Structure 1
Amino acid sequence: MHFPRLHARVHPEIAVKFALFPYLLAQGAWLRQTALVLPEPPGARTGFAGKGAPLRMLVLGDSSAAGVGTDHLDQALPGQLRDLLAPHYEIHWHLEAKTGRTTRQMFKRLVKMEPEPFDVAVTALGVNDITKRASRENWLEDTELMLDLLETKFGVRQTYVSGIPRIGDFPLLPPTLRWILGKQGLRYDAGLSDMVQRRDNTFHIPADLPLDGLMSKDGFHPGPVVYAEWAKRLADQILHNFPAAPPAEVQVVKN
Structure 2
Amino acid sequence: MLYPLSTLALGPILIGQGHYVRRITPRLPEPEGEREGVTGHGPELRLLIVGDSAAAGVGVTNQSEALAGCLAAQLGQRFRLHWRLIAETGRTSGDVLRALVQEPESRFDVVLVSIGVNDVTGRTRDRPWLKHLDELSGQLADRFSAQLVLFTAIPPMHLFPALPQPLRWYLGLRARQLNGLLEDFCRHRAGTRFLSVGFPLEPGFMAADGFHPGANAYRIWAEHSARAICELAQTTAR
Between Structure 1 and Structure 2, whose CA radius of gyration is higher?
1
Aligned to 1:69: 59
Q: Say which is worse superposed, 87-96 or 19-28, in terms of deviation.
A: 19-28
Aligned equivalents of 2:235, 2:71: Cα separation in 1: 17
Aligned equivalents of 2:83, 2:193: Cα separation in 1: 19
> 1:244, CA displacement in angstroms?
8.4
Report whether the alignment pairs 1:219 with 2:194.
no
The AA in structure 2 aligned to 1:138 is: P
Which residue, 127, 133, 137 being the options, matches 1:143?
A: 133
Which residue, 77, 84, 94 being the options, matches 1:94?
A: 84
Q: Say which is worse superposed, 131-140 or 48-57, in terms of deviation.
A: 131-140
Query: Runs of at least 4 residues of structure 1 off by over 2 A?
Result: 243-246
The AA in structure 1 aligned to 2:147 is: R
Q: Residues 109-135 of structure 1, C-alpha deviation per residue, up to 9 Å, x if partnerless?
A: 111110111111000000001101111
Which residue, 222, 230, 233 being the options, matches 2:221?
A: 230
Aligned equivalents of 1:151, 1:143: Cα separation in 2: 12
Which ranges of structure 2 fall in alignment gaps of 5 or more residues? none
Q: Is the 8 A contact 1:196 1:203 kept in 2?
A: yes
Aligned to 1:19: 9
* RMSD of equivalent CA atoms: 1.4
Q: Match of 2:207, SS?
A: coil
TM-score, length-scaled by structure 1: 0.89
Aligned equivalents of 1:72, 1:118: Cα separation in 2: 24
> 1:141, CA displacement in angstroms?
1.3
Aligned to 1:124: 114
Instruction: Provide the aligned length of Structure 1 versus Structure 2.
Output: 236
Q: Residues 31-65 of structure 1, C-alpha deviation per residue, up to 9 Å, x if partnerless?
A: 21221100000010011000111101000000000
Q: Match of 1:227, SS?
A: helix
Q: Is the 8 A contact 1:68 1:221 kept in 2?
A: yes
Aligned equivalents of 2:178, 2:33: Cα separation in 1: 31
Q: Is the 8 A contact 1:166 1:208 kept in 2?
A: no
Aligned equivalents of 1:86, 1:197: Cα separation in 2: 29
Aligned equivalents of 2:236, 2:18: Cα separation in 1: 50
Q: Is the 8 A contact 2:197 2:224 kept in 1?
A: no
Which residue, 229, 239, 248 being the options, matches 2:230?
A: 239
Q: Residues 209-249 of structure 1, C-alpha deviation per residue, up to 9 Å, x if partnerless?
A: 21112211100001111111111011001111125889xxx
Q: Match of 1:74, SS?
A: helix
Which ranges of structure 1 fall in alignment gaps of 5 or more residues? 1-9, 247-255
Q: Percent identity?
A: 36
Which residue, 18, 39, 46 being the options, matches 2:36?
A: 46
Aligned equivalents of 2:222, 2:136: Cα separation in 1: 22
TM-score, length-scaled by structure 2: 0.96
Q: For the structure 1 residues 189 and 244, does the alpha-carbon distance in structure 2 shift closer, same or farther, using more than 3 Å as the test?
A: closer
> 1:137, CA displacement in angstroms?
2.4
Q: Say which is worse superposed, 26-35 or 166-175, in terms of deviation.
A: 26-35
